[in-house]
Chain A
């Protein structure tokens, strides 16, 4: 196990290096002189030169990269131009908000997808199966921002059940925080529900044909016990991979959902930074997003080995 993790980490190293290089190069995609773009048209040549020096733009590209990487490894992703604070600080301040939204929508998606998937699989080709499938198809086809606006319209404008947006920290007002959370989490999680649901249904259908399930039936166990305790356990394995892959989509989804629901998280920070041309922040977010996505997928692979004894004894 330890050697497996070590090997995976070793393979991650060149990939992470390349990821950092791609992220570094993003700022150089900006047409023209980044320093001038950052400061705007009316900037004096002196201030442009000063910023060029601060960003290290006056040095050769390779040197710039090594310098940037060195700083990044030491937890310094530069200075936000708009916010007048270090990028890392700007991100970590807003991290809890985004994590809360992301985790809530993942929980929502799994909590809804698993029972629905089991119901669909155990009623294969029945009416419930059909209904669940159609819902999941619609779920994949509705963009989260459309769903978000729709939810605001229905549950905040027509029926005033939830606030149309805004965020109260949990520590200040736990109940208000949860009320703020409901609509954004549903809007963000629904796409994932659809995908997870299909996965649970497919793998349940596979598992239900296994011998041990037939044995369970022969033993006279109750259907609920067979479906949930025996079949579902094994059917859930592939879901883990999917949820890992979804982490990236969910993270990207927070950008839109936070903007719609006015949440002060990393997503809305990024969108604001893009429009105020605060590229160091954008760069920092992109780098951290990619690295955390890599880590999540590593954890998923490790989790697989921990949970599934057949994989564990492979190597």
Chain B
């Protein structure tokens, strides 16, 4: 039914990848196939546009999303998911962004830092789709390198903040008593600060650098995850299997890691997907204000700050970085929402509110 051998597109032209996609879907029922070509076309175009290395999309998706699942089924699975819920289309956009970030030196056609005064402040053209900035640097190349910075800062700050917060929440929720009460006060105190203001103050006090930016963004995420994890632990730990583990003399650490954590991980993951987008927004705001990445670093917020000077004369200078932020945040939000609905349809709560910009 579905061909298990690996194929790669014979050329880099969009239609070959499209045909490749459609070819893969042949085994699927007729009804499912009806919608496929258009979507496959979009997906294929997006992949080609950002992937001059010619890396075939299915390979990337295999490694990105679904390690360990039979490989050839994946494009079909992705298409099926998109058919059921168009929001998953944006997982492809995300994959493209991740690829652009990882392979930035190959994807970008120009050096993001080299000055070329001769071609300064050029409007968008075929060679420079987002134009060039006041120093003649290609805006598209800078945007592509910016993907690296934004995605990695977003991810790392969430990993650190979310990790620490989860550990706090696990311990507080499981041990209860005075430990829990103390933790709750600490969490409440951290939540009392509007997150961006706290991040701003920490970044300002530590001094402007990318590392300090990550620290600031990580700290403000800790209470959110701590509270979420604690709430989940309180629900889970009353269940029989935890009591059983406790009765059989399992050590607390082991219970937490191998019994409690796996059962509370999905809401945390959903929260993580959504808060990466908040972290990226916050990061761009701080950099825009001059408190994060510093010029000449090709960071989106910093680039918009630089473009602002030429707002009236060369307004298109903002185009690239602004578009990059919007597309990235939009994709993360949509995929996060879709993930939340898939993992737990009931959890339509206000997890993500109040942490925005």
Contact = CB atoms under 8 A, between A and B. Distances in A.
Query: Real complex partners, A and B?
Result: yes
Interface of A: 14-16, 18-19, 22, 26-27, 29-31, 137-138, 140-146, 149-150, 152-153, 157, 191, 195, 199, 202, 238, 241-242, 245-246, 248-249, 251-253, 255-256, 259, 270-271, 274-275, 279, 282-283, 285-286, 289-291, 293-294
Nearest to B325: A143
Contact of B185 (A15, A144, A202, A285): A15
A138 B325 CA distance: 11
Nearest to B284: A143
Given A141-B333, A238-B350, A274-B200, 4 more contacts: A19-B193, A157-B312, A248-B197, A255-B289
5 contacts: A14-B185, A143-B284, A152-B311, A153-B311, A242-B350
Interface stretch (B135-143, B203-211, B236-244): B203-211
A91 B205 CA distance: 20
B197 A252 contact: yes
B197 A289 contact: yes
A248 B315 CA distance: 31
Contacts, number: 151
A195 B197 CA distance: 20
Nearest to B188: A15
A134 to B, nearest CB: 10
Contacts of A26: 201-202, 205
Given A18-B186, A143-B281, A289 B357 contact: no
A259 B304 CA distance: 14
Contact of B304 (A29, A145, A248): A145
Interface of B: 185-186, 188-190, 192-198, 200-202, 204-207, 277, 281, 284-285, 288-291, 301, 304, 308, 311-312, 315, 318, 322, 325-327, 329-330, 333-334, 348, 350, 353-357
B205 A279 contact: yes
A115 to B, nearest CB: 20
B353 A245 contact: yes
A257 B327 CA distance: 22
**B contact patch SS:** helix
Given A143-B357, A289-B197, A15 B205 contact: no
Contact of A282 (B204, B289, B327): B204
A268 to B, nearest CB: 11
A56 B198 CA distance: 24
B185 A286 contact: no
A221 to B, nearest CB: 29
Contact of A137 (B188, B195, B330): B330
A137 B334 contact: yes
B329 A256 contact: no
Contact of B326 (A16, A138, A191): A138
B192 A19 contact: yes
A31 B197 contact: no
A271 B289 contact: yes
A137 B285 contact: no
Given A143-B284, A282-B204, A138 B330 contact: yes
A299 B196 CA distance: 22
A293 B207 CA distance: 26
